[in-house]
Amino acid sequence: MSQQKVAIVSSYTTRLSVDLGTIEYNKCLALQRMLVARRKSGIIPDTLMFLDHSPGVYTIGRKADPANFPKLDPIRTERGGDITYHGDGQLVAYPIFDIRSSGKLDVRNFVHRIEAVAINAIKDLGKTAYVGEEPGIWVDEKKVASIGMAIDGYVSYHGIAFNHSPVVLDGFRKIRPCGLDPSSMGYLDVSRTDLLQALEGAFTNEFGPFTEIVPGFVIPDLP
């Protein structure tokens, strides 16, 4: 991975955000785990990664039901939730954050804050989003964003994936995403650029200012 554009953040002291562009899922997972360890050690500050996954990939969380993905061999992860798809037409946000607030660990509150970020970002794009009875973020009775978080000690990783283009919907047709009929999946019909800008603003409004890093530093090769 010596040529992959991934930021090194150890010399910064404020909240950081970085758009990594396209990165293969397993390499990104290794990167997340490395950054979680550094965040727990206090080497880096809260770090927010935006990226796309290619090639397309299926992943499952801790509560996966094999009936939702017959004949598939998805990547197993530590996040919550069932099976989902990542691929073209989707923008993912991975917050590597210390989630402690007021001196206590509050996982539920943190997830609610991520949901608020999503709803407010989509509002800025001119659409009304909401948290439905089923997990995720919904617009017009279609699920447009999937949330699956993991917490290691007190540091978050994994995150939230936004469907912004119809091209992503093909990937959901082979599965029952989070136990839902694939027809329940929708998309925002906005550009990646506009969605990224809205998310940057919503994360700033919810968590405070971020320093944006331009990718270009190289980290050691990942597994």
Predicted local distance difference test score (pLDDT) of residue 91? 99
Q: Helices in the chain by DSSP H: which ranges?
A: 25-40, 107-124, 192-207
Predicted local distance difference test score (pLDDT) of residue 3? 39
DSSP letter (8 states) at residue 2: T
Is 178 annotated in the active site?
A: yes
Domains of the chain in start order, with CATH, are: 16-213 (3.30.930.10)
Which of 178, 180, 196, 198 is catalytic? The answer is 178
Q: What number is the average pLDDT over the span 130-148?
A: 96
Predicted local distance difference test score (pLDDT) of residue 217? 46
CA angle at 70 for the pair 66 and 74, rounded to the nearest 5°: 70
Q: Which is more confidently placed, 106 or 210?
A: 210
Instruction: Answer for the pair 117, 199: CB distance below 8 angstroms, yes or no.
Output: yes
Q: Which amino acid is at 28?
A: C
pLDDT of 147 > 60? The answer is yes
pLDDT of 211 > 50? The answer is yes
CA distance 30 to 170: 27
pLDDT of 95 > 60? The answer is yes
From residue 143, alpha-carbon distances to 35, 59, 120 in Å are 29, 17, 16
Query: b/e for 120-144, b at 16 or more Cβ within 10 A?
Result: bbbebbeeebebeeebbbbbeebbb
Q: pLDDT tens digits for 12-71? A: 558 999 999 999 999 999 999 999 999 999 988 999 999 999 999 999 998 899 999 998
Tracing tokens 């969380």 back to the chain, one arrives at 61
Predicted local distance difference test score (pLDDT) of residue 14? 81
Q: pLDDT tens digits for 104-135? A: 778 899 999 999 999 999 999 999 999 988 99
pLDDT of 10 > 80? The answer is no
CA distance 52 to 123: 22
Instruction: Answer for the pair 159, 203: CB distance below 8 angstroms, yes or no.
Output: no
Neighbours of 10 (CB within 10 A): 10
